[in-house]
Homo-oligomer: A and B are copies of this chain.
Amino acid sequence: MNLARVTGTVVATLSVDGVDRPTYLIVDPCDTGGRPSGKKQLVALDTVGAGFDEIVLISQGSSARQTQASDKKAVDAVVVGIVDMVDEASQVTYRK
């Protein structure tokens, strides 16, 4: 999975992914301190009600279809959790 920050939303009225009223979030992969990690921005289906600027956990590939909302849908990235805390070398690097 990857840590990522929620930075925006995408509206796509005509879609064939099979998700009912999807919320697509623009997410920027980030490091343990919430800074951009250098991985490219992507679009992930929200399943947890993530808000702007929150740090979330992203699952990609076929694993992104293993939630109730994304099951058998044409979705390759999903927000699977809202991050509360990250620590590195026993130092808290991010707290919600």
Residues of chain A touching chain B, judged by Cβ–Cβ distance below 8 Å, are: 1-3, 7-18, 24, 26, 29, 31-32, 37-45, 47-48, 52, 57, 59-70, 72-78, 80-90, 93
List the B side residues contacting A8 at CB < 8 Å: 32, 86-89, 93
**B37 and A81 within 8 A (CB):** no
**B57 and A88 within 8 A (CB):** no
8 A-B residue pairs with Cβ-Cβ distance under 8 Å, sorted by A, are: A7-B32, A12-B81, A14-B48, A26-B32, A31-B41, A43-B57, A60-B76, A67-B74
List the B side residues contacting A89 at CB < 8 Å: 7-8, 52
Q: Contacts A42-B2, A86-B11, A89-B8 hold; do A62 and B59 have CB atoms under 8 A apart?
A: no
**A12 and B83 within 8 A (CB):** yes
List the B side residues contacting A76 at CB < 8 Å: 1, 59-61, 63-64
With both chains docked as a complex, state the minimum distance between the C-beta of A81 and any C-beta of chain B, in angstroms.
3
